[in-house]
């Protein structure tokens, strides 16, 4: 099943999928339009791994001037719901992609699939099998030896058709019978040893209601969905590579039944190719595992800001641009590997640096009293909302006799190269003035409770009138009008790069107990105007956004999106 593919996939170069499509366009196989699809199963929220597939599916269609359908692959009724389907649409739109009028539900084709199955039986391509699941596995055998035939294989087409109709009529219990393709019980590919096409499930479907008690299997359904929509290029993850011969087998049957879409005189035979899925460090990506975290309340829902789901990333403060940039940088290849989450965070900082509004906030406050500053001082710092954006405005931060600085920015006995606040030395209070600390005041336990000093009245804006150099600049907030804000400091959800690596241990054992710390911080007054979803850089600290779920007017909650630098890399 291996094929000649180019493994080098530079972000902007022609990766193997692009080459493949370009060739088909050149030879006219697409009938003039490249059609791709993104086919999520609506059984969970989509995550950053799906974003990779979304970017490839929609990206390739856009690149070749074609279109990409959104299809709910809802052939397994047990775990699907409208809640999930709606969230998937919202998330794809948020990522910046649109399917136009190309929205489909696989379940809308149930009648058609059933009719196709009957035609396959009539033509001897399928039969009803009465083996139990265990027998079926036993009969299928191992790759190096041919399997054994199911007794149903030799039944007449008429008898098989009658049995299949009775299956559909609900005469049998789950698992009692199934419909199988008649292909090759000696194939070295076990998927070709008369694979199951239909199974009995007495479960209502979230769209089709209780109309069906037989449901098509993925491989059968997917090829029919692709063919019916006139999809030319069907891209999926590597685990489907071994299924490709079966995909092609079903397409051949549709061709035989004259059921392929014809576009501009070209019969559209959909083709499948596979790429490596995205694995990201310090998280898990299987919907089943993510659902477990939600159900066991180990996180606060699918949109918990620590989740790798798109809604979690959005609530955390990620931007669609950052996610798309990341997907572009990881490229497309056929190699399974793990991508370092630091790359995703890098893309995020890159984008937030350009767009996030700057504000000052103090997390561990230490009071500073400016002894020579008049009670009604009138000084204020005028600071750019965003120095990287020429069009961004300025905001004023009133300077006061009492301000708060970060406790870490003061050292009574400074270590070498400490250029922040320390007795006797000058430091710049960001945008306001130059300040010289005189002394610290301690309480009865010896704890420093406040720091005193004087400011240079000739240093408006923080620059000395005589041009003398000031090495350190620290941020501050005015004591009387600082805003108390709740800040949630998020960290990685897991302690280890691959929580699924140890088969002996349950992945939840590797959850990071410190992945969420809630603190109260003091922010500059302008933060009072922040709205849910707004993104900020708290200067010298990191990027934060206003939580869209838990913020109340007058009681804002901020999520830490990402630290300013890669603090994780420095820790380890």
Scanning 15-23, 45-53, 76-84, 422-430 for contacts with ligand ATP by CB under 6 A, the matching segment is 45-53
* Inter-residue long-range contacts of 201-206, CB under 8 Å, 24+ positions, other chains counted: 201/77, 201/78, 201/174, 202/170, 202/173, 202/174, 203/77, 203/78, 204/77, 205/74, 205/77, 205/80, 205/107, 206/42, 206/74, 206/77, 206/80, 206/81, 206/82
Is residue 49 within the footprint of ligand ATP (CB under 6 A)? Answer: yes
Is residue 41 within the footprint of ligand ATP (CB under 6 A)? Answer: yes
Instruction: Count the residues of the shown chain that bind ligand ATP, applying the rule CB under 6 A.
Output: 14
CB of 239 to ligand ATP, least distance (A): 8
3-class SS at 526?
helix
Q: Which residues of 219-232 are buried (b: 16+ CB within 10 A; e: fewer)?
A: bbbbbbbbbbbbbb
Report residue 147: phi and psi, to 5°. -85, 180
Residue with smaller CB distance to ligand ATP, 237 or 353 = 237
Reply yes or no on whether 41 is catalytic. Answer: yes
CB of 477 to ligand ATP, least distance (A): 42
- Residues 196 and 194: their CA atoms lie apart, in Å, by 7
Reply yes or no on whether 287 is catalytic. Answer: yes
Catalytic residue among 71, 244, 287, 324: 287
Is residue 81 within the footprint of ligand ATP (CB under 6 A)? Answer: no
CB of 289 to ligand ATP, least distance (A): 8
Residue with smaller CB distance to ligand ATP, 273 or 287 = 287
Q: What is the DSSP letter of 15?
A: -
CB of 48 to ligand ATP, least distance (A): 8
Residue with smaller CB distance to ligand ATP, 254 or 278 = 278
Is residue 237 within the footprint of ligand ATP (CB under 6 A)? Answer: yes
Chain-centroid distance, C-alpha 31: 34
**CA-derived radius of gyration, the chain:** 31
Catalytic residue among 118, 153, 267, 277: 277
Of these, 15, 50, 273, 560, which contacts ligand ATP (CB under 6 A)? 50
3-class SS at 543?
strand
Residue with smaller CB distance to ligand ATP, 41 or 426 = 41
- Residues 167 and 213: their CA atoms lie apart, in Å, by 8
Q: Which residues of 332-366 are buried (b: 16+ CB within 10 A; e: fewer)?
A: bbbeeeebebeebbbbbbebbeebbbbbbbbbebb
Scanning 49-57, 100-108, 123-131, 427-435 for contacts with ligand ATP by CB under 6 A, the matching segment is 49-57
Residue with smaller CB distance to ligand ATP, 50 or 324 = 50
Catalytic residue among 18, 41, 71, 400: 41
Scanning 284-292, 302-310, 444-452, 525-533 for contacts with ligand ATP by CB under 6 A, the matching segment is 284-292
Is residue 216 within the footprint of ligand ATP (CB under 6 A)? Answer: no
- Where does 180-331 have alpha helices with state H? 218-228, 244-256, 287-295, 310-316, 320-330
70, 37 Cβ separation under 8 angstroms: yes
35, 66 Cβ separation under 8 angstroms: yes
Residue with smaller CB distance to ligand ATP, 53 or 546 = 53
Q: What is the arrangement of strands in the sheet containing 196-200, beginning at the earlier edge strand?
A: 126-129, 178-181, 196-200, 214-216
Is residue 312 within the footprint of ligand ATP (CB under 6 A)? Answer: no
CB of 59 to ligand ATP, least distance (A): 13
Is residue 236 within the footprint of ligand ATP (CB under 6 A)? Answer: yes
Phi-psi region of 301 (alpha: psi -120 to 50; beta: other; left: phi over 0): left
CB of 53 to ligand ATP, least distance (A): 4
Is residue 281 within the footprint of ligand ATP (CB under 6 A)? Answer: no
Scanning 48-56, 137-145, 406-414, 459-467 for contacts with ligand ATP by CB under 6 A, the matching segment is 48-56
Is residue 285 within the footprint of ligand ATP (CB under 6 A)? Answer: yes
Of these, 9, 34, 53, 379, which contacts ligand ATP (CB under 6 A)? 53
- Residues 250 and 231: their CA atoms lie apart, in Å, by 14
> ∠ CA 401-405-410 to the nearest 5 degrees?
110
> ∠ CA 555-557-400 to the nearest 5 degrees?
65
Of these, 40, 59, 312, 542, which contacts ligand ATP (CB under 6 A)? 40
Task: Please list the residues that pair with 494 across neighbouring strands.
Answer: 511
CB of 100 to ligand ATP, least distance (A): 19
Q: What is the DSSP letter of 148?
A: P
Scanning 129-137, 191-199, 247-255, 279-287 for contacts with ligand ATP by CB under 6 A, the matching segment is 279-287
Is residue 286 within the footprint of ligand ATP (CB under 6 A)? Answer: yes
- Token pair in block for residue 398: 């009133």
Residue with smaller CB distance to ligand ATP, 113 or 330 = 330
Residue with smaller CB distance to ligand ATP, 271 or 551 = 271
- Token pair in block for residue 436: 């010289």
Is residue 372 within the footprint of ligand ATP (CB under 6 A)? Answer: no
Is residue 432 within the footprint of ligand ATP (CB under 6 A)? Answer: no
CB of 462 to ligand ATP, least distance (A): 48
- Token pair in block for residue 537: 């850089």
Scanning 44-52, 153-161, 345-353, 370-378 for contacts with ligand ATP by CB under 6 A, the matching segment is 44-52
- Residues 148 and 135: their CA atoms lie apart, in Å, by 10
CB of 355 to ligand ATP, least distance (A): 27
**Catalytic residue list:** 41, 277, 287
Residues lying near ligand ATP in the complex (CB under 6 A): 39-41, 49-50, 52-53, 236-237, 277-278, 285-287
């Amino acid at each position: 099943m291996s094929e000649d593919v180019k493994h080098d996939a530079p972000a902007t170069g022609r990766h193997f999928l692009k080459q493949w499509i370009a060739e088909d366009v050149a030879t006219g196989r697409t009938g003039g339009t490249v059609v791709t699809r993104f086919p999520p199963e609506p059984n969970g929220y989509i995550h950053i791994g799906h974003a990779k597939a979304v970017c490839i599916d929609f990206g390739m269609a856009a690149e070749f001037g074609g279109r990409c359908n959104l299809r709910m692959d809802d052939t397994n009724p047990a775990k699907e719901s409208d809640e999930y389907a709606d969230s998937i649409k919202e998330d794809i739109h948020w990522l910046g992609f649109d399917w136009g009028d190309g929205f489909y539900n696989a379940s809308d084709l149930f009648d058609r699939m059933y009719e196709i199955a009957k035609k396959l039986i009539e033509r001897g391509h399928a039969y009803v099998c009465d083996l139990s699941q265990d027998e079926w596995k036993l009969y299928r055998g191992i790759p190096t030896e041919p399997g054994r035939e199911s007794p149903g294989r030799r039944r007449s087409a008429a008898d098989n058709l009658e049995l299949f109709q009775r299956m559909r009529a609900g005469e049998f219990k789950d698992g009692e019978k199934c419909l199988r393709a008649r292909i090759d019980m000696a194939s070295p590919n076990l998927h070709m040893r008369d694979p199951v096409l239909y199974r009995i499930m007495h479960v209502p479907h979230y769209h089709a209601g209780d109309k069906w008690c037989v449901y098509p299997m993925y491989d059968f359904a997917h090829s029919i969905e692709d063919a019916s929509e006139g999809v030319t290029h069907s891209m999926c993850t590597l685990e489907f590579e071994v299924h490709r011969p079966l995909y092609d087998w079903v397409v051949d049957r549709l061709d035989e039944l004259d059921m392929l879409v014809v576009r501009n005189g070209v019969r559209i035979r959909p083709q499948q190719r596979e790429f490596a899925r995205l694995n990201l460090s310090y998280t898990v990506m299987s919907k089943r595992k993510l659902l477990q975290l939600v159900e066991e309340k180990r996180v606060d829902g699918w949109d918990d800001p620590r989740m790798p789901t798109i809604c979690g990333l959005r609530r955390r403060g990620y931007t669609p641009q950052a996610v798309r940039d990341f997907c572009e940088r990881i490229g497309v290849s056929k190699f399974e590997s793990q991508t370092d989450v630091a790359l995703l965070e890098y893309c995020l900082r890159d984008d937030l640096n350009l767009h996030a509004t700057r504000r000052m906030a103090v997390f561990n406050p230490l009071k500073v009293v400016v002894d020579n500053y008049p009670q009604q001082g009138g000084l204020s710092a005028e600071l750019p909302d965003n120095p990287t954006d020429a069009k961004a405005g300025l905001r004023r931060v009133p300077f006061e006799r009492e301000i708060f600085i970060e406790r870490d920015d003061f050292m009574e006995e400074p270590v070498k190269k400490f250029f922040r606040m320390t007795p006797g030395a000058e430091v710049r209070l960001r945008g306001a003035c130059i300040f010289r600390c005189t002394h610290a005041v301690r309480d009865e336990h010896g704890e420093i409770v406040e720091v005193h000093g004087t400011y240079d009245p000739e240093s408006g804006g923080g620059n000395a009138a005589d041009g003398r150099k000031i090495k350190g600049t620290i941020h501050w907030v005015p004591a009387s009008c600082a805003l108390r804000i709740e800040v949630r400091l998020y960290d990685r959800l897991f302690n280890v790069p691959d929580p699924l690596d140890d088969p002996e241990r349950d992945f939840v054992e590797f959850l990071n107990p410190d992945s969420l710390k809630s603190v109260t911080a003091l922010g500059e007054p302008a933060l009072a105007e922040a709205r849910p979803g707004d993104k900020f850089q708290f200067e010298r600290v990191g990027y934060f956004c206003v939580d869209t779920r838990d913020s109340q007017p007058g009681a804002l909650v901020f999520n830490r999106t990402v630290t300013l630098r890669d603090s994780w890399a420095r820790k380890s």
